[in-house]
Amino acid sequence: MGSTVTTNSDVANVWNGGGAQPLGASYGKMMMWFFILSDALTFSGFVAAYGFSRFKFIETWPIADEVFTHFPFMHGVSMPMYYVAFMTFVLIFSSVTMVLAVDAGHQMKQGKVALYMFLTIIGGLIFVGSQAWEWKNFIKGEYGAVETKGGSILQFVNSKGEHIKLADFAVTLPEEREQLTRSKATWFMSESSLPTYSVNEVVEGFKNNPDVLVRTEVIYSEETAKNATGVHPTLNHIKHKTILTREESLKRLEAAKLVIEGANLKHNEYGSKLFADFFFFITGFHGFHVFSGVVINIIIFINVLLGTYERRKSYEMVEKVGLYWHFVDLVWVFVFTFFYLV
Amino acid sequence: MGHDHVSNTKRIWLVFGYLSIITIVEVALGIKRPEALYHSHFLTMNLLNWIFIILTLVKAYYIVWAFMHMEGETKALRRAVVWTGIFLILYLTFILLTEGHYVFTVFRDATIKWNF
């Protein structure tokens, strides 16, 4: 059947487009498709902006495998990809239960629709919870780093080139620096919580440990090594962050200005500030979609239990929220690729 | 319209199988990052990235066609949604990535260093 425009002056049907079905789909379903199209363009705008920033800082962009390394109950073990793979599977599986609910709806099986909707909601909740855990690890950070006057991040490695924590070498100096809060100063003066170590303590600790080296944001390649000074002769590998010689490390540390632990919208220990901004914004916007999808699913689930769609003799409402839910899954497929894989 | 009220359960599980296999392949490649692919260069990107992007598009195709049942909609609705989206996204991506790369070369080749 092609796309024929039919008109219908039936006033009682005015809220569903007068019963006309120009594209062979009901009014609600067609409009859900167009909403999804516009939402897809919003997301692609964000992801394309991420791509812009990444191409702009292509030689210094953080490497996702070094950022997202946590897995529950595997403390201190670097396991990139596994956790996000688990999240992806949860979302794909909840998509499957959703489409099974739609399928059961076509056959007017109320009990089955309710069961599959319930499983979909559980899947959605697990996903949002996992996202929260991922955020927690990202915000908390693991190693800590130093930010220079120029705003670039210096991380620390041992003599084997392995990333080490500030706590592994920083000293404690007899200096006391209290967090400025509104109660201790004038009401308009305060600051966020202080990092565990001051810049001095990190620098002193660095001087005391001749094995520690600085790792910069620059991704090592033949091209970037050509223009750089003080690149470590043996520890560097292609497509890994550049490690400096001891002399160059000491020189770079002179510009140290801030100690950074974890990530927020202003600073992050992983490298480019924009990386954390885009991560929070895009996964946050997607997580918000998942959350609203769960809420809508719960509403439809209750309606299924109440028998609303049995009386209506159509489960098309389940199909419409299903479209939205699959769209959320679709977006995640792209977020997964562009944040974790590429 | 393709809204035959026959159960499609078999197809659903089959598509789930495809999506799972593709995801597992992606994750395995992401963990392993084979040097032959990762250190190669083809049309501005390494081959591994091309594989990831193509696999992602295959996944997107299955989600939209099978799960969202786009295959059952009329040709006009399908084109109105899919072609519009693909055209605008390709255009936007092309413009922004080209510009991003240009800004990168400006930073790299300028006499003033951003990293001081």
The whole-angstrom separation of Cα A93 and Cα A241 is: 36
The whole-angstrom separation of Cα A122 and Cα A124 is: 5
Interface contact flag, A52 B88, Cβ < 8 Å: no
Could you identify the residue written with the tokens 């919580």? Answer: A193
N-term to C-term CA, chain A: 41
Using CB atoms, which residue from A51, A53, A106 is nearest to B93?
A51
Interface contact flag, B31 A81, Cβ < 8 Å: yes
Q: How many residues does chain A have?
A: 342
- Side chain identity at residue A114, one-letter code: A
Cα-to-chain-centroid distance, residue A27: 34
Residue spans of the domains in chain A: they are: 23-141+275-341, 145-260
Crossing angle between the packed helical segments A316-336 and B47-62, to the nearest 10 degrees: 180
ipTM: 0.92
The whole-angstrom separation of Cα A49 and Cα A274 is: 10
The whole-angstrom separation of Cα A281 and Cα A20 is: 40
Nearest alpha carbon to residue A134 among A179, A184, A85, A89: A85
Looking at residue A12, its pLDDT comes to: 57
With beta carbons less than 8 A apart as the criterion, state whether A262 and A268 touch. yes
Sheet holding A256-260, edge to edge: A241-243, A213-219, A153-157, A145-148, A256-260
Interface contact flag, A49 B85, Cβ < 8 Å: no
The whole-angstrom separation of Cα A150 and Cα A148 is: 5
The shortest C-alpha distance from A138 to chain B (Å) reads 19
Q: Which residues pair with A231 in a beta bridge?
A: A244
Q: Render each residue's pLDDT in chain A as its tens digit; 342 residues.
A: 455 555 555 555 666 666 677 788 888 899 999 999 999 999 999 999 999 999 999 999 999 989 998 898 887 788 888 999 999 999 999 999 999 999 999 999 999 999 999 999 999 999 999 999 999 999 999 999 999 998 999 999 999 999 999 999 999 888 777 777 787 777 788 777 788 899 999 999 999 999 999 999 999 998 888 878 899 999 999 999 999 999 999 999 999 999 999 999 999 999 999 999 999 999 999 999 999 999 999 999 999 999 999 999 999 999 999 999 999 999 999 999 999 999
Interface contact flag, A23 B74, Cβ < 8 Å: yes
Chain B residue at shortest CA distance from A218: B115
Using CB atoms, which residue from B23, B66, B108 is nearest to A88?
B23
Tell which phi-psi region holds residue A144, choosing left (phi > 0), alpha (psi between -120 and 50) or beta. Answer: left
Helices (H), A107-190: 110-140
Mean pLDDT, chain B, whole residue set = 90
Residues in chain A with CB shorter than 8 Å from the CB of B50 are: none
The shortest C-alpha distance from B80 to chain A (Å) reads 9
Q: Which residues pair with A241 in a beta bridge?
A: A219
Average pLDDT for residues B26-54, to the nearest whole number?
Answer: 91
- Side chain identity at residue A75, one-letter code: H
Q: How many residues does chain B have?
A: 116
Residue spans of the domains in chain B: they are: 1-73, 74-116
Give one DSSP letter per residue of A219-237, joined into a string.
Answer: EP-HHHHHH-SSB-TTT--
| Torsion angle (degrees, nearest 10) of CA B58, B61, B66, B67 | 100
- The CATH class, in words, for A23-141+275-341 is mainly alpha
| Confidence band of B2 (pLDDT split at 50, 70, 90) | very low
Nearest alpha carbon to residue A154 among A262, A265, A276, A256: A256
- Please work out, in degrees rounded to the nearest 5, the angle formed at the alpha carbon of residue A86 by the alpha carbons of A143 and A96: 155
Looking at residue A76, its pLDDT comes to: 75
Interface contact flag, B12 A85, Cβ < 8 Å: no
* E runs forming strands in chain A: 145-148, 153-157, 213-219, 241-243, 256-260
Q: Which of B20, B27, B93 is best to mutate for the A interface (most A CBs within 10 A)?
A: B27
User: Residue A325 corresponds to which tokens in the numbers above?
Assistant: 């839910």
Average pLDDT for residues B104-114, to the nearest whole number?
Answer: 84
With beta carbons less than 8 A apart as the criterion, state whether A325 and A291 touch. no
Sign of CA dihedral A33, A39, A45, A50: negative
Nearest alpha carbon to residue B109 among A223, A243, A230: A223
Looking at residue A169, its pLDDT comes to: 94
The shortest C-alpha distance from B66 to chain A (Å) reads 9
Q: CB neighbours (10 Å) of residue B13? A: 11
Q: What share of chain A is helix, strand, coil (3-state, %, to 5)?
A: 55, 10, 35
With beta carbons less than 8 A apart as the criterion, state whether B62 and B19 touch. yes
